[in-house]
Amino acid sequence: MSNPSIVDQLVRADTAAPPRIGRLSGLGWLVWRQHRVTAGIALLLMVAAAGWLLAEHAAVADGVARIRQAGCVDPETWDQTPACWPLIQEASSYQEPFVTYFQLLMATVPALLGMFLGAPLLAQEYERGTHLLAWSQSVSRGRWLAARLGAALATVLVVSAVLAALTSWFWKTTVNSAASFLSYDPPFQSFTYLVLGIVPIAIALFAFAVGVTAGMLLRRTLAAVAATGAVMVAAEVALRLLRPHLWPQVYGVQAFNQNFSSFMQPKDAWLVSSGSILTDGTRVPDGGACAHLDGCPKVVQVYGYYHPVSHFWPLQLVESGLLLCLTGGLLAFVFLRLRRAR
């Protein structure tokens, strides 16, 4: 009987040897291979955002320190002291990109995650036919889908949570801090609200679920990407209309002022609607529009419905809960539909 060849010995040794701890194999290895580029891009995005915000925070802090040293904190001194305005403008210039551009960019991240991570996840499998190969193996459809969704969901959750935490930290410590005299950025402004707290995380998860569902139904990557973008635009419009009614609004009445005829909401509050109250008690929307009332003397009071700043977290929690319920429903639909898919 001849001795076994070197190849046979290597095969037997490799078969008999226990797997190395920490080495991925099987479905886990496949998922990592498919998502490693996405993970790298996500890491670069988070590092870039953190680096920029840290640099801007340091620049603003340095500018505010010089403003205080020059005695220019009080706005009354800005016109009296020649050195104040250059210092104020320089420090404000470091906050302006955050309010004008960075918030807008961060507000688009959830939709981009849904379009370019969620939509291609299953659509590409159907286009290439690789789902049939995966389903013909020993791995069940449910396990295969759970592995695909789990890795992508983890990426969406980490990216959105880190970016939301960084943005909230910068807004609280740099824009809405003791140095807030440099700019005014209330939390209920459209893009500001969308990048603070937990709402951006919930929107990102919802956008991902929309993308996965579109990919399963349309089975074409480009069509799924376009459909996801359209649905997210429609969803944002619907949320914007629904958001004021997610928590009871506060009603306030103020005396009419000829110099300023509109309702004045508290600082950082969100004024939802306002109007005028006439001498006979009639309420007319838009307290500043007196032309159609035959003159302002008939207006005795102005009223307003608003959300004070204390409603920020209740609104965030209710909206996030609604979005997470929709996300769970979409993902459950994807799992049920997969059982009957061909």
Look up residue 272 and give its DSSP letter.
E
Q: What is the pLDDT of residues 191-238, one digit of tens each?
A: 999 999 999 999 999 999 999 999 999 999 999 999 999 999 999 999
So what's the pLDDT on residue 307?
Answer: 97
Calpha distance 101→106 (Å, rounded):
9
So what's the pLDDT on residue 10?
Answer: 38
**CA–CA–CA angle 259, 302, 283 (5° rounding):** 135
Which residues of the chain have a pLDDT value below 70? 1-35, 74-81, 130-139, 178-183, 287-297, 341-342
So what's the pLDDT on residue 30?
Answer: 59
Grouping H, G, I as helix, E, B as strand and the rest as coil, residue 336 is helix
Grouping H, G, I as helix, E, B as strand and the rest as coil, residue 140 is coil
So what's the pLDDT on residue 39?
Answer: 78
pTM of the model: 0.84
Tokens linked to 111: 């939709």
Calpha distance 213→141 (Å, rounded):
16
Task: With beta carbons less than 8 A apart as the criterion, state whether 296 and 255 touch.
Answer: no
So what's the pLDDT on residue 327?
Answer: 97
Calpha distance 298→202 (Å, rounded):
47
Tokens linked to 288: 């500043």
